[in-house]
Amino acid sequence: MVTNFHPVQCRMARVALGWGVRDLASAAKVSSDTISRFERGEELRARTVDDIRRALEDAGVVFIPENGGGAGVRLKEPGA
């Protein structure tokens, strides 16, 4: 689990999955505007951010914490 989930990671994860804002909003059960606000860097409730992160993780995204090279994302190996 990532302690800090950054807006840029959200955008990168969506692109990696081929998802638009509406796709993520549907998976996270939030509004499209909520996703857009988060990706612009606006502050959201912690529970909402957790819901967004969880939806991406459930779809196969692995979040990479900042380790000197910046935060990132990757997709799980198929079948992992």
Domain 7-74 fold is 434 Repressor (Amino-terminal Domain) (1.10.260)
The stretch 2-23 carries a mean pLDDT of: 90
pLDDT more than 70, % of the chain:
91
**pLDDT band at residue 2, thresholds of 50, 70 and 90?**
very low
Cα–Cα–Cα angle for 27, 29, 33, rounded to 5 degrees: 100
pLDDT more than 90, % of the chain:
74
Domain ranges in the chain are 7-74
Phi and psi for 74 in degrees, rounded to 5? -150, 165
Contacts of 11 (CB under 8 A, 6+ apart): 39
What is the per-residue pLDDT across 25-41, written as a single tens digit (0 to 9) for each? 999 999 999 999 999 99
